[in-house]
Chains A and B, each alone.
Chain A
Amino acid sequence: MTETFILIPGRTTDQGCGISEGKFQDKYQNEIRALQVAPGDMARLGLRPGDRVRLTGEEGQSVEVCITAGKKDELPEGLLFIAYGDISSRMMTGDTHGSGMPTSKGMDVTMELVERAAQRE
């Protein structure tokens, strides 16, 4: 299973609170490492919460993250969401297209299943 999606990193309340509580604390780390997938996409691809997937960007940069179901209606199919942080930034490339700003939202990525949640239990 390898499909193309658009990755949207963004701020969340828990990510914001986690900055103040400590970036090495579990709350922050859990928030920035959870990839939200639209429930429709999860059903279509047979994915379950906790499954580990690999995201690969246009220059081959990649990360592995566990997925969680996006809240109903919040995330349309074809989009992935992750809270800003270490993981989302690793998907940026070094090129800023003359703007100083790496493309940090609306990134084209492929997603492939690496490990089922059940296999780790």
Chain B
Amino acid sequence: MTSRAPSSAAAAGPGPERQVALVDLLDRVLAGGVVISGEVVLGIADVDLVRISLRALVASIRAVQEDEPASAPFAETDPR
């Protein structure tokens, strides 16, 4: 994907990325898109993709940084 955003907007963040960030991609590809329930021939429609892939993500992170304590994300206290 090429960003059409003016460079000034990109400069507001941590930095423009040539490749789409994986976390942003997974937010959309796994949790978004049309879900066709009941018609998919295979049972995949019943698989919780977000949870299953989160396990993969967490496992890979854990392998890299075992020692760091988890800091509480904003989400934990945010009722939204």
A pairs with B: no
